[in-house]
Structure 1
Amino acid sequence: MLIVLSGPSGVGKGTVRQAMVNKYGQQFKYSISMTTRKPRPGEVDGVDYYFVSKAEFEEEIANGGMLEYAQYVDNYYGTPLKYVNQTLESGQDVLLEIEVNGAMQVRSKVSDGVFIFLAPPDLHELQDRIVKRGTDDTATIKKRMLQARQEINLMTNYDYVVVNDQVDSAVNRIEQIIASEHLRVARVLSTYQKMLGDN
């Protein structure tokens, strides 16, 4: 099952994803995104993102190597396709933590994915989080807030909305969603049809 976690910049996608990996990491594989932005303090190449040049990213696009990609605040972000396909084919769930534009691309390609929108409690809280990160200048913060308003309007394209008021609570809600999705008839029907056909 492909699980897509996205939401506006600053909502805490990375924090929630890391908490999920720490708590439930044996239950799914996290697909590391690729980006052309510079690493933030403490971020590690190949762990948080694959940090590449613009030319390298555009070569992957040209070669059809991306499940999705988007240009966001002057940088590319995207999901390498090969790892996702191999992991799903091996029977394991894959978790993507991606931007909203990327999630819309995946939605058009993977109809049975589980799409979860991580939302802020309110816009003031979202702006406070972006400012407290200390990584963006005033002009970039304004761009991010304008983008966030547009992205929140796109939540209608998702299956679930989880408010990130407290990280632990958000992680628990997402785990409940994943557990429920595994019980959907459409996901287990083929197993039972095969069983009945063998009798």
Structure 2
Amino acid sequence: MVAGILFIVSAPSGAGKTSLVKALLARDPGLSLSVSCTTRTMRLGEQEGIHYHFLDQPRFRQAVDAGDFLEHAEVFGNLYGTRETDVRTCLEAGRDLILEIDWQGARQVRERFPAAVSIFVLPPSIAELERRLRGRGTDSDEVIARRMTQARDEMAHYAEYDYLVVNDRFDMALDALAAITTAERLRLERQRPHLAKLF
């Protein structure tokens, strides 16, 4: 069996990464989303094991010390991490997997999975990014200012990624993500085992 492809998707807050990934998963039944662990509190409508594995700080730090995480990072005072066993189990079963993580996590993952395909989602402009963040109506001016500073820091790491997708028009950005997943599946080394009889 050919192992699944690991896709890394990163973006600054407000670029639309989560909405794009959700739409891509709905379109492509061959993709799964890795469920991360976090220490942040559960939001309305979220479910344990579907949106995140919710851990308290001591349990999370225990998992870090045990080397359970493929990557982990602190974002706005909360800890996030991806369990390595979850990723390996999925890929070994031949399923393609998406990791929604920041550039720090992406860097850690590429060290252990150099073949991972990384995609960075960008807003069409800094002004549009701020407009989207304000449009949420959930954050104070102080939080938005902090997110904008962090967004600029994150965007400085764009050159570490294989692909860049600008989310100007949602449908076009979604098509671009789908094109990347299709192209990666059609690579020679992935197709050859399936087409061995033909050759």
TM-score by length of 2: 0.89
Q: 1:118 aligned to 2:121?
A: yes
Show the counterpart of 1:14. 18
Which residue number in structure 2 is paired with residue 182 of structure 1? 185
Whether the 8 Å CA contact 1:19–1:171 is kept in 2: the answer is: yes
- More helix per residue: 1
Instruction: Note the aligned Cα RMSD (angstroms).
Output: 2.1
Identity %: 38
The amino acid across from 2:186 in the alignment is L
- 1:150 partner letter: D
In structure 1, C-alpha distance between the alignment counterparts of 2:184 and 2:172, rounded to whole Å = 19
Instruction: Measure, in 1, the Cα distance between the counterparts of 2:170 and 2:37.
Output: 24
Match of 2:31 in 1: 28
Query: Secondary structure of the residue that 1:3 maps to in structure 2?
Result: strand
Q: Following the alignment from structure 1 to structure 2, what is the Cα–Cα distance between the partners of residues 111 and 126?
A: 31
Unaligned runs of 5+ in 2: none
Q: How does 1:124-163 map to 2 (within 5 A)?
A: 124-163=127-166
| 3-state SS of paired residue (1:82) | helix
**Amino acid corresponding to residue 173 of structure 1 in structure 2:** A
User: 1:89-104, aligned counterparts within 5 Å?
Assistant: 89-104=92-107
Question: Residues 195 and 16 from structure 1, CA distance in 2 versus in 1: closer, same or farther, beyond 3 angstroms?
Answer: closer
Structure 1 unaligned blocks of 5 or more: none
Alpha-carbon spacing, 1:38–1:138, altered in 2? closer, same or farther (3 Å): farther
Q: TM-score, normalised by structure 1?
A: 0.89
State how many pairs are aligned: 194
Aligned to 2:65: 62
1:174 partner SS: helix
